[in-house]
Amino acid sequence: MMEADLHNLRPVPGELNGDRSNFHFGILPEKANQYGSCHFKVNFTLRLAEPDPSIRGDIARTYFYMEKTYGVRISSKNRRLYEIWNKQDPPDEWEIERNLRIKKIQGNDNPFISRYEEFL
C-alpha cells in the first residue's frame, strides 16, 4: 500500500530520480544547476540531494505523512531539516488542491497539509 499511496507519488524526471537514488535530502554548497531549468542538485560524493526551495515543504510534509501512516523512520537530523522546510515553504494552492483530489480518490488526506497550522 505504501508504494501505491498517492500522497507518496510525485512525477519526477527520470534522470533526476535515478541520480537522486536513495540519497538523503540536504543543503549543498554548489551553485551549479545540473538539470537545466529543474532547480535540483545532487552531490554523488556526499550522497546528498538538494531540492528547490519551492518544493522543500512539500517533501517534508510527505515524509511526515509517511512516518505517521506507515511508520517510516525519520532520523533526528532529517526531522530538524524537514521541520525548517515545513515552516519556510507552507502548502501552496496546488499542494492543497492535490491533497483534496487524492482524498477523493484514495479516501484519506495528508493532515500535514490539510491541518498545517496544527503541526507547526
Task: Check residue 52 and give its pLDDT.
Answer: 92
Q: Is the pTM of this model over 0.85?
A: yes
Three-state DSSP string of 57-89: HHHHHHHHHHHHHHCCCCCHHHHHHHHHHHHHC
Share of the chain above pLDDT 70, in %: 98
Structural domain spans, the chain: 14-119
Per-residue pLDDT tens digits for 19-72: 988 899 999 987 767 788 888 999 999 999 999 999 999 999 999 999 999 999
Task: Check residue 32 and give its pLDDT.
Answer: 64
